[in-house]
Chain A
């Protein structure tokens, strides 16, 4: 009871220190909001403005119709019509056009003969992901064109027809993937920085000594440091969640309590790691570098930027200790897939394990350093 009261007084002190000053209050709120908006719009693999050049050697009715299908898709924008091959490389090299579409001279003739008519597409592979996506789009458009053409010319249907559907994200928008992911990413960055700094700052200012000569026990100090960070983390994740649901209109499929439960465990684990950094670091400087060394790999190996399944196996194992990895899976599963508690339980226990280990280590290190 006495212990609880002391912890409460510490929590109150921490919250006061962070939230009393209007400027620092804003730094808790504004950056996550700004980042969600900016990165939410910027971080997309989707293409809506593909600039291409066309070299139509056929100049037939069919080729014109093919090109207008392309333009009609809304994604592609013709920026140049070429009359010979020579300018192709200039346009691609200078990044003026992402694609050059070249239609052979016998395009219409072959189509009318019922043969396969080739359209050559040259893509700028400097960002092979963008190029691949653009080629995928063209493939779909070509298939649509084929179907329309065949119907118009009274041909029999294709023998088989693919009916594709994407679950959980029907129009395959990257934003639906990225923005919920930012809930984990942004809170993680803030959480590590806040927690890692808080103990180091007290150490540097000498207030830690002051705490240690009071009846506070190390475990009470740790608790008093963790809980305010967790509270702030919850507030920040709620803000990002609001932006995701109400600004970007991403449908929330799961239940809130499942999400919050998962995120709570994630926050505890992140705070544990933050405390671990701060228990090792002797100065603010070291705490800063330490948290940076944690944040950067954790962010890049979280599966948000590039899928974990694409990584070499050895690195996939490394990601098992990354709490952000689980957080992002949990958010995606609950937010987009509507996963239930039991469905995400496999993501929860690793978080519990990480939290337990890091908190234990931080406490052990802290006690060793101080008492």
Chain B
């Protein structure tokens, strides 16, 4: 063999080359520009979803329909009723018998009952007058908050000295609570960052899952493989354009959170972008992994929906706090990248650049990215099945 050919061989095996990567990126970007569907997935979908869900989702209980059973409208009882009527939390219906209240409870027109018995006034003077409170416990979370609000509204009366016996004050423990990062207790503050994660997990995964599988299906990869191209170059070429596209989508949703839903951004924008970029790489890597494993757009799409959507909803800490889940479930949740990003994003938005939260989560995300990318590389070695 001539030495010249040996030279070529040395050149070919020299690993990745910038020129080829640049060319693949250019190709991919042209495709993105010409095929509006990926732009729709990356930009239109996230904005639509954040608008819909940002407005729709709220855990803040308000205007609870409540029946107040006044069996004997004495002045004290009327005063109690007045307190409920003034409260923003309740929409009070006055009824005079318990039976009536129960009927309303059964047909779901009310979610709670407060009953002041016939002898409420008399019992009050002797102390320990029972106030019967019933809440609909079906939605336990809501039920608990309703119960809490009723207690708080009644609190004023319970602490007043019984029967006007002034001086016989009782020692009580009074909780003064302060909710840091969210003084107004607005659930949007934590739901919106969570939604950003949910949406990006889906769109990021979907973007790459479909494009890589599409190349397998159309057979474009087969011809590409029989060129000096390195499998890693193909993956980088695939990742970069969608990374920037996804980043724009992410920034759009994050800005919607800040400017539309007025979630404060207490951390720095730079850190937000950096961590988001890292997460996006994980989401894209996940999509690439799925699609190079299945090599089929349909299956890939289905897996991304199943493996990204429901777990990101239930296992990310987006709505449900994972601290209370059993150990096994917490372990399972560690396998889904969404939980790390939810934690970081809520912190950057509400608390600021807290490194003790950001760094460990970012390490986990980096590890996941590396795992997905190297698994994909392993699967995309230039061989056919």
Contacts and interface: CB of A to CB of B under 8 A. Distances in A.
Contacts of A164: 133-135, 147, 150-151
A29 interface: no
A169 B333 contact: no
A157 B354 contact: no
B138 A119 contact: no
A133 interface: yes
A142 B158 CA distance: 14
A42 interface: yes
A42 B329 contact: yes
Given A42-B333, A315-B56, A128 B310 contact: no
B298 A66 contact: no
Contact of A167 (B136, B159, B182, B305): B136
Contacts of A38: 314-315, 329, 332
Nearest to B164: A159
A203 B169 CA distance: 80
B189 A125 contact: yes
B57 A159 contact: no
Interface string B160-174: 111101001111111
Nearest to B323: A49
A122 B175 CA distance: 10
Interface residues of A, number: 107
Interface residues of B, number: 111
Interface string B140-158: 1111110110111010011
A139 B149 CA distance: 11
A229 B379 CA distance: 35
A113 to B, nearest CB: 7
B58 A42 contact: no
Contacts of B202: 292, 296
A169 B136 CA distance: 8
A296 B49 contact: yes
Interface in B104-155: 105-108, 123-125, 127-145, 147-148, 150-152, 154
Contact of A161 (B106, B142, B158, B297): B158
A118 B174 contact: yes
B98 to A, nearest CB: 13
Nearest to B62: A310
22 contacts: A46-B140, A66-B173, A98-B323, A118-B174, A118-B176, A119-B174, A121-B175, A123-B178, A126-B189, A126-B346, A150-B171, A159-B161, A159-B162, A160-B128, A162-B130, A165-B132, A165-B133, A166-B136, A170-B137, A176-B138, A285-B297, A292-B309
Interface stretch (A258-266, A270-278, A300-308): A300-308
Given A126-B351, A128-B59, 6 more contacts: A123-B177, A125-B179, A158-B128, A165-B135, A289-B301, A307-B59
Contact of B151 (A111, A132, A139): A139
B304 to A, nearest CB: 9
A339 B145 CA distance: 24
Contacts of A160: 123-124, 128-131, 154, 157-158
Nearest to A176: B140
Interface string A32-53: 0001001101111111111100
Contact of B319 (A92, A125, A306): A306
Contact of B320 (A43, A158, A169, A289): A43
A59 interface: no
Interface centre among A94, A164, A193, A285 (most CB of B within 10 A): A164
A51 B187 CA distance: 21
